[in-house]
């Protein structure tokens, strides 16, 4: 149930960054993306036309960079995209979770594999 510290949003919008700042300046809170507040259900697409339109441009750029060069390291991705290693790790975790990429091989000699859509 929504409250002063919990918000449900069906899809991501960059304007929610202001809400996050508001939570940070107050007592904290959560924004649950992909959840229909009326039904309490998740409508977040697990894998649609590659990356859902609701996903931030930053995640999309990470995905595109991996698709172009699957051997890029996290550090190389971060440098190329101008974002932190930690952010790249979050993007990769998301992309793996929705089934768009997977890691083949180890950290040193492995590579990313873009998973074909069914």
Task: Give the model's pLDDT for residue 117.
Answer: 63
User: Could you tell me which CATH number the domain at 57-114 has?
Assistant: 1.10.10.10
Domain ranges of the chain: 6-42, 57-114
- Cα separation, 37 vs 43, in Å, equals 10
The single-letter DSSP state of residue 115 is P
The single-letter DSSP state of residue 9 is E
**Which ranges in 1-118 belong to alpha helices (H)?**
16-25, 57-68, 74-81, 85-97
Neighbouring residues of 13: CB distance < 8 A, sequence distance ≥ 6: none
* Blockwise average pLDDT, block size 10, the chain, 118 residues: 69 71 70 63 46 70 90 93 93 89 89 80
Task: Give the model's pLDDT for residue 61.
Answer: 87
Whole-structure pTM value = 0.54
Task: Give the model's pLDDT for residue 84.
Answer: 93
């Amino acid at each position: 149930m929504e409250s002063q510290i919990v918000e449900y949003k069906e899809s991501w919008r960059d304007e929610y960054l202001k809400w996050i700042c508001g939570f940070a300046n107050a007592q904290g809170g959560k924004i649950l993306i992909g959840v229909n507040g009326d039904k309490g259900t998740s409508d977040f697409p697990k894998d649609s036309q590659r990356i859902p339109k609701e996903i931030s441009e930053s995640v999309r750029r990470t995905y595109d960079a991996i698709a172009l060069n699957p051997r890029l390291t996290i550090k190389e991705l971060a440098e190329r995209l101008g974002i932190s290693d930690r952010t790249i790790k979050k993007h990769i975790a998301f992309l793996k979770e929705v089934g768009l990429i997977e890691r083949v091989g180890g950290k040193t000699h492995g590579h990313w594999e873009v998973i074909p859509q069914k």
